[in-house]
């Protein structure tokens, strides 16, 4: 992590804007568009400042689709976005009026040409830059497929670049699970489906959890009473939101077990408190911090 906000924006105020965007369900591209325009290093400013004759960036991607400007906010990658885009995003999510004055003043100043914009595609500085992706979500998905295949589970990768709202993906996975259990397709017995990428959550409550456990919780009710299917979801960094879990696992018995323990399912959904529910069910996936991050993984298995 290289937090180096522009000189007229305190780090704490840049963090306020970033957290507001995360809570608003903004995409990683939208969040990083704003970040790049508040940074001394991101948006290729590191490459701009570096005096080396050649620059080689070895990149581990945590961004669906491996968009270079969005991985680490593009320290050495051309930035196709502008100050105008950053302002538009804050206005789109109703965050412009509440943003710290230092942030608004800097973005307005950039729009008026008082500050230079980030280096764009075709800029001369990129003739000396070589960006190489050495690991990404697709590598992680392939590792899951290889492992499960070695255990005689027929495994397919649907995509490694999903990018949607967590509860929506939970319902989609649940619908695939239902069809598989009822109609025997697309997954037959002994088959698994792997999906990778990253979802978003609009945080409305003050509970503990993250997008992966939120996804699992949204799927739980949809697959209630289905036999022989399970859904697991986790972050490859071992951390899901503000919880110590990486994710959670649910199957056709999960909702019944929660009901038997009188756990407030709907209340946990409303409060974004998925971690608390899964902790009481002992269904959190706990790995601890892994030391790396290539986005999230979702696994649907039929046995």
User: Mean pLDDT over residues 164-180, rounded?
Assistant: 96
Q: What is the pLDDT of residue 36?
A: 97
Q: Specify whether the CB–CB gap between 174 and 210 falls below 8 A.
A: no
* In-domain check, residue 262: yes
Q: Is the pLDDT of residue 23 over 80?
A: yes
Q: Specify whether the CB–CB gap between 100 and 16 falls below 8 A.
A: yes
Q: What is the pLDDT of residue 64?
A: 85
Distance, CA of 35 to chain centre: 16
User: Mean pLDDT over residues 88-95, rounded?
Assistant: 97
Looking up residue 191, the CATH number of its domain turns out to be 3.40.1480.10
To the nearest whole number, what is the mean pLDDT of the chain?
A: 95
Q: What is the pLDDT of residue 224?
A: 96
Write the pLDDT tens digit of every residue in 93-137. Answer: 999 999 999 999 999 999 999 999 999 999 999 999 999 999 999
Nearest alpha-carbon partner for 242 in 2, 35, 23: 23
User: Mean pLDDT over residues 281-298, rounded?
Assistant: 96
- For the entire predicted model, the pTM comes to 0.84
Burial 81-116 (b: 16+ CB within 10 A, else e): bbbebbbbbbeebebeeebbebbbebbeebbeeeee
Q: What is the pLDDT of residue 65?
A: 86
Q: What is the pLDDT of residue 15?
A: 95
* 11-23 helix and 101-111 helix, angle to the nearest 10 degrees: 90
Q: Are residues 244 and 169 in the same domain?
A: yes
Q: Is the pLDDT of residue 3 over 90?
A: no
Q: Which of these three, 103, 134, 165, is where a domain ends?
A: 134
Q: What is the pLDDT of residue 140?
A: 97
Relative to beta strand 247-251, strand 284-285 is antiparallel
Q: Specify whether the CB–CB gap between 219 and 250 falls below 8 A.
A: yes
Q: Are residues 293 and 144 in the same domain?
A: yes
* In-domain check, residue 2: no
Q: Which of these three, 82, 107, 134, is where a domain ends?
A: 134
Please, where are the H alpha helices in the chain? Answer: 11-23, 28-36, 45-49, 83-92, 101-111, 137-150, 166-183, 211-220, 254-260, 265-270, 274-281
Q: Specify whether the CB–CB gap between 221 and 263 falls below 8 A.
A: no
> Sorting pLDDT into bands at 50, 70 and 90, what band is 31?
very high
> Sorting pLDDT into bands at 50, 70 and 90, what band is 2?
confident
Q: Is the pLDDT of residue 37 over 80?
A: yes
Q: What is the pLDDT of residue 202?
A: 84
Helix (H, G, I), strand (E, B) or coil at 207: coil
Looking up residue 30, the CATH number of its domain turns out to be 3.40.50.10180
Q: Are residues 96 and 111 in the same domain?
A: yes
Q: Specify whether the CB–CB gap between 298 and 233 falls below 8 A.
A: yes
User: Mean pLDDT over residues 157-183, rounded?
Assistant: 95
Q: Is the pLDDT of residue 191 over 80?
A: yes
Helix (H, G, I), strand (E, B) or coil at 159: strand
Q: Is the pLDDT of residue 194 over 90?
A: yes
Relative to beta strand 247-251, strand 229-235 is antiparallel
Q: What is the pLDDT of residue 94?
A: 96
* In-domain check, residue 3: no
Distance, in Å, from the CA atom of 159 to the CA atom of 27, rounded to the nearest integer, reads 18
Cα separations in angstroms, 94 against 21, 25, 249: 10, 12, 35
Distance, CA of 43 to chain centre: 20
Q: Is the pLDDT of residue 1 over 80?
A: no
Q: Which of these three, 134, 151, 180, is where a domain ends?
A: 134
By percentage, how much of the chain surpasses pLDDT 90?
A: 93
């Amino acid at each position: 992590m290289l937090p180096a906000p522009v000189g007229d924006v305190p780090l704490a105020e840049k963090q306020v804007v970033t957290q507001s965007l995360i809570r608003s369900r903004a995409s990683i591209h939208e969040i990083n568009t704003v970040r790049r325009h508040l940074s001394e290093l991101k948006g290729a400013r590191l490459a701009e400042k570096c005096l080396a004759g050649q620059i080689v960036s070895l990149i581990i991607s945590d961004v669906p689709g491996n968009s270079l400007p969005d991985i680490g906010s593009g320290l050495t990658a051309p930035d196709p976005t502008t100050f105008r885009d950053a302002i538009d995003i804050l206005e789109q999510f109703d965050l412009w009026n509440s943003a710290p004055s230092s942030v608004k003043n800097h973005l307005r100043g950039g729009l008026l040409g008082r500050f230079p914009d980030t280096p764009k595609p075709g800029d001369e500085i990129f003739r000396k830059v070589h960006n190489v992706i050495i690991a990404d979500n697709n590598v992680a998905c392939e590792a899951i497929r290889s492992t499960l295949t070695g255990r005689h589970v027929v495994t397919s990768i649907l995509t490694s670049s999903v990018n949607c709202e967590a509860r929506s993906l939970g319902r989609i996975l649940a619908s695939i699970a239902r069809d598989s259990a009822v109609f025997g397709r697309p997954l037959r017995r002994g088959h698994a489906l792997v999906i990778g990428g990253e979802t978003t959550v609009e945080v409305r409550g003050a509970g503990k959890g993250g997008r992966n456990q939120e996804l699992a919780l949204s799927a739980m009710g949809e697959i209630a009473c289905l036999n022989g299917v399970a859904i697991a979801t986790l972050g490859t960094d071992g951390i899901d939101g503000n919880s110590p879990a990486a994710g959670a696992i649910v199957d056709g018995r999960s909702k019944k077990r929660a009901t038997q323990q009188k756990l407030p399912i709907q209340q946990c959904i409303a409060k974004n408190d998925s971690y608390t529910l899964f902790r009481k069910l002992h269904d959190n996936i706990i790995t601890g911090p892994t030391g790396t991050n290539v986005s999230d993984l979702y696994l649907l298995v039929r046995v």
